[in-house]
Chain A
Amino acid sequence: MIDGGGHSASHRCPREAAAEVTARRHFLSSTTGGFVGALGLASLLNRNSGAARQPAPLHRPLAVRMPHFAPRAKRVICLFMLGGPSQFELLDHKPRLNALHGTPVPADLVRGDQFAFIKGTPNLAGSSFRFARHGQSGAELSELLPHLATVADDLAIVRSMHTEEFNHDPAVMFFNAGSAFTGRPALGSWLTYGLGSESEELPGFVVLASGEPEGPPVGFHHWTSGFLPTAHQGVRFRGHGDPVLFLSNPPGVTHRTRRQTIAALRDLNTIQQENIGDPEIGARIAAFELAFRMQTSVPELTDLGRESATTLRQYGAAVGDSSFANNCLLARRLVERGVRFVQLYHRHWDHHGFNDKDQNVLHALPQRCREVDQPAAALIKDLKQRGLLDETLVIWGGEFGRTPMVQQAPTPTRLGRDHHPGAFSIWLAGGGIQPGTLGRTDELGYQIAEDGVHIHDLHATLLHLLGLDHTALVHRHQGRDFRLTDVAGHVVEKLLG
């Protein structure tokens, strides 16, 4: 236990060597003993009821756990456009709305409805951008999404989403946690709670953010584990400085010094464990050793310089940026390493029309699309090329949509739309979904006409694709069994491939 020859730089403490062997073993087990191996194919064919599953071991809350039934997807990348992108300019083509541009919205249609800002019966506004059909499927996409058009046949466009909240923060919480009340776990937390994490080196739920610090902000409460153990909380990877808080050694502390510290901590904590017998000490030793490995693995992970120039170009990423493009590429690198849920926030999609610039559908929305269209399409192609798309579900969307009515009196250079929870559009790709276009709104795009998909339905479907029964993934808190979908939610069969 005692490193008697510590004076010599070349002499290695046996504990240090042991730690590295352990680290290698962890690595091997995480690569060879991965998901399916741990699962056993036979068990995939049998449904497990939620109640019959073993709880996660107390000291390894992120241990890989069996799903309820054979999964189609193993992990999720959620591209979240914070602020509420306008479906009328992107995914929901409405020729009739275009024809009625500039006429008042029928009073009967909006009577009794409440909006964030709109009062009375403002004029309708058609799309300012052209739509065209793409791919074999003939998916309709606007001219603002030229790159996405090249992967049209991989997309499942849902035009009939609806939610329950019309202010940003509650609506973001609803999209993430199925509730506008604080204290409920986010989707990513439910996934690591239900399935554990496949990564030994990284958290199971990682959050990335990009975009100007304007409009609705991102906050801890959007990736909270709520009443689930905090081990399931999302971990924010930062765009500058340390990618994970406090990852770097302080100045003047070398890798070797740190290795010696970790080894000494192990020795001293082991003495204490032998005296006391508290298994929590063993968990602490493991946590310090994982932290030490992360100091190497995370910089390696976030170093986009390891990607080819071609890949960087496809995404539009550049080493050193903290752009959405960089984050998309980082997301691929994260899921390659087994991270269960990666959520990318891109900010500043809240275009009310208060000004000609950053609040303007005509000006700011095309800008946002230039930032996200190419990287999102590149992500799909890249995952596909690497054989990861089949088992990785990609979701693109925002907390709600926008109204077909204008909010402010429009000018030739300005258009603004209010928040609209009643109907909006998202798209999905990969992970066992059925490409195509699902759902229809009325001719003004105001209400759902066919195949409505509530957020709870989306959550039920996501969990289903990951092999989890949304009614069986429960956690008891304050005497009640809670679930992501509360008391609602139906798996959308039409979305299943």
Chain B
Amino acid sequence: MRRWFILLLGIPLSCAAPAAKTRAAAPSGSASRTHWAYQAARRPQLPEIDQPTGVANPIDSFVLARLRRGQRTFNPPAPPAVRLRRVTLDLIGLPPSLDEVDSFLADQRPDAWARVVDRLLASPAYGEHWGRYWLDLARYADTNGYNIDVRRPIWPYRDWVINALNTDLTYDQFTVEQIAGDLLPAATRAQRIATGFHRNTMINQEGGVDPEADRVKAIVDRVNTTATVWLGTTLACSHCHDHIYDPFTQREFFAFYAFFNQTADVAGGVPNSSLEPLLRVPSPEQQVEWDRLRSALANLAEGQTAAREKLRQAETALLESVPSTMVLKERSQRRITRVHLRGDIGNPGEVVTPAVPAALHPFPAAVGKSGPPNRLDLARWLVAGDNPLTGRVTVNRYWQRFFGTGLVATSDDFGKRGHSPSHPALLDWLAREFVDAGWRVKATHRLIATSRTYQQATYRPHQKKNQTSVRSSQQDPPLAGPWLDRGPRFRLAPETIRDLALAASGLLNQQIGGPSVYPLQPAGFWLEFGTRGFDMEEWPTSAAAERSRRGVYTFWRRTTVYPAFAIFDAPSREHCTVRRSRSNTPLQALSTLNDPAFLRCAAALGLRALEANHSSQSDRIVFAFRLCLSRRPQPLELARLVTFYEQQLDHYRNHHSDADKLITAADLAPVAQIDRSEWAAWTILASLLLNLDETITKG
């Protein structure tokens, strides 16, 4: 019955094939090293282009050079309002306000676009939006996972990520603090909070769990996640045996594992279940009070026992209200790491010491001179200037966020089985630019957002009259495909769909940070899945204002993800997710049509239109339309909307009780002196607008 131990689940199909033997014999053979991704990225020459019309920056030179080779050209830029909506959604995850649209449309300065990009990069909403992407990689969630799946305190880590992005912490420092912030000399509280990155591993609290087996699972996940996020590498495949395709041996897997095997956290099992080590994270006010109490304690004279006792009690009471967060901490006594033969922890092999894979760039000579290399050395190695992977992998992920697909489509696999880059020179140029200019994240986003390539229209003019668009898409590569001769167009993430509805309706609460919140979800939903007890029976719906926070603050329970998110392909965050699915299902339609949270937005948006300072009905419709889509409706669209509105008004004028029911269900604060039939009709119109394909799409 030792079989249970075997974590052997990663052997590829061709494992038994002769190829496996060949690989084992030459684990870091020269053929593997010549794979493009393991060679240093060199800064390529910019292509020479005759009449480089419309080239805004070097990105465009690379793209245009390839287009010319294919006898193609750039698509014209998307219309200004559409472009503004695109870049606003991409940089801050919210739609532009109407003032922002109007002022951009009126701005005739040559650098109007760059000004918009800079304004957005400076917005605190930028960190919330880009932080959300990072939290998928970090597998951040508010619960432990597995079947008990109770709360864990780690939201300060989420706030650290948002703040790091907003303050434009350089990516190398961003990396070092998350992998090894605790090992930095004189580590600050923030640097220790950052190590929550690797405390996001799951903890199994089932009765019969072997704590050591659960701890090992967490360490393996830290190895795999680190390799995926920074190296774009499927190191996970070498957990049980040498990698079949890429130059990593099982021994190298465990040498990498040895870096992470020295932390004090103990993971699962009932007797050992522990969230420790935890770090107290007082608010500024709490910190002032704490400092005051401590200095008062220090200043007490001998014998003032009663006063000392009183102060101690005050301190204890204060600390009970101070939040904590899970962090990494190095053990005082080193663990010996052995290879787990066939990935089986019950089958220990040779002892290994911390080392990085031979196929990648080496450690600097000084590392390891005074004791074995540690996590901090590893973190610095990940962001070393000669690392061939981190720069490419990171800029490729940024590209994927803007364009829907990376220059390397398999953004989670830069190995031999991954795709080759569609624009290798562009990828290398971007990677070098990113790394050599000091790992500046906002500057890289600015570069992409200000390129001509990014600003293109999503359609080609000749297609406008082509009704059989499916056929035309078969003739051309898919939208935003390898040619990059069109702008990106794809469905928004569920958090953005939610935030957009809240912003358009004026309900959005822009408060940043703090404990996760509980917006409306169907009653009884947790207990349909969960178990009585553990204080996880009821979703404790937040107060009205908190229900309208951005999606990034929604409580994330791994086994029962917030349904409106799960329906739109949000991952469980049980493990690192580099690329989310983008499905298109009827359940999504039901969610945006009927979810009470969306109804609330529709009613608020309807009310906003109804109360707007416009004289005509069609002006109000245009107003609501622009709140969702930024552009103005075409005459045909407006006519259809007017007809629809009149249908609805007619119905609710003749069915007052339906209007009452709808408005009551929307659960907004009552509004005096309003015609409920009109409000109901506007609510249905607003719901229609919030459900348009274009509304839930970035185009």
Contacts and interface: CB of A to CB of B under 8 A. Distances in A.
Given A219-B149, A220-B561, A278 B684 contact: no
B417 A480 contact: yes
B584 A220 contact: no
Given A1-B640, A165-B4, A479-B415, A487 B596 contact: no
Interface stretch (A18-26, A70-78, A144-152, A267-275): A267-275
A421 B1 contact: yes
Contacts of B595: 246
B274 to A, nearest CB: 18
Contacts of B593: 246, 249, 258, 261, 291
Contacts of A40: none
A59, A61, A114, A422, most chain B CB atoms within 10 A: A114
Interface residues of B, number: 122
Nearest to B600: A250
Interface in A199-224: 203, 209, 212-221, 224
Contacts of A242: 522
Interface string B489-500: 111000000000
A271 B528 contact: no
B42 to A, nearest CB: 25
B510 interface: no
A216 B583 contact: no
B559 interface: yes
Contacts of B9: 179-181, 486
Contacts of A294: 586, 590
B168 interface: no
Interface string B22-63: 000000000000000000000000000000000000000000
Nearest to A290: B586
Contacts of A30: none
A220 B560 contact: yes
Contacts of A9: 650-651
Contacts of B288: none
A54 to B, nearest CB: 14
A217 B531 contact: yes
A170 B4 CA distance: 10
A115 B210 CA distance: 9
A492 to B, nearest CB: 19
A202 to B, nearest CB: 10
B688 A264 contact: yes
A117 B207 contact: yes
A277 B560 contact: no
B3 A164 contact: yes
Contacts of B234: 478-480
Interface stretch (B181-189, B347-355, B660-668): B660-668
Q: Which residue, of A113, A180, A221, A250, has the highest number of chain B Cβ atoms within 10 A?
A: A250
B477 to A, nearest CB: 13
Contacts of A386: none
A86 to B, nearest CB: 16
A220 B569 CA distance: 12
Interface string B638-673: 011101101110110001011111111110000000
Contacts of A162: 3
Contacts of B387: none
A189 to B, nearest CB: 12
A228 to B, nearest CB: 9
B147 interface: yes
Contacts of A1: 636, 640
Interface stretch (A121-129, A229-237, A327-335): A229-237
B605 interface: no
A117 B271 CA distance: 12
A43 interface: no
A7 B459 contact: no
A164 B490 CA distance: 41
Contact of B692 (A214, A268, A422): A268
Interface string A256-270: 111011001101110
Given A253-B662, A480-B12, A229 B1 contact: no
A169 B636 contact: no
Given A247-B594, A287-B588, 11 more contacts: A114-B1, A213-B531, A214-B531, A217-B559, A252-B663, A268-B692, A276-B699, A277-B464, A479-B237, A480-B417, A487-B12
Interface of A: 1-4, 6-7, 9, 59, 61, 112-117, 162, 164-170, 179-183, 203, 209, 212-221, 224-225, 229-231, 235-236, 238-242, 244-254, 256-258, 260-261, 264-265, 267-269, 271-285, 287-288, 290-291, 294-295, 418-419, 421-422, 471, 474, 476, 478-481, 483, 486-487
26 contacts: A114-B1, A114-B5, A169-B204, A179-B9, A216-B147, A219-B559, A221-B574, A230-B583, A231-B584, A241-B522, A248-B594, A250-B665, A251-B662, A261-B684, A265-B688, A268-B641, A274-B467, A276-B463, A277-B472, A278-B469, A280-B491, A282-B470, A283-B584, A284-B693, A295-B590, A474-B13
State the 3 A-B residue pairs at the shortest beta-carbon distance, nearest first.
Answer: A116-B208, A479-B417, A252-B662
Interface of B: 1-7, 9, 11-13, 15-16, 145-147, 149, 202, 204, 206-210, 234, 236-237, 245-246, 410, 412-413, 415-418, 458-460, 463-467, 469-470, 472-473, 479, 489-491, 522-524, 527-532, 537, 558-561, 563, 566-567, 569, 572, 574-575, 581, 583-591, 593-596, 599, 634, 636-637, 639-641, 643-644, 646-648, 650-651, 655, 657-666, 680, 684, 687-688, 691-694, 697, 699
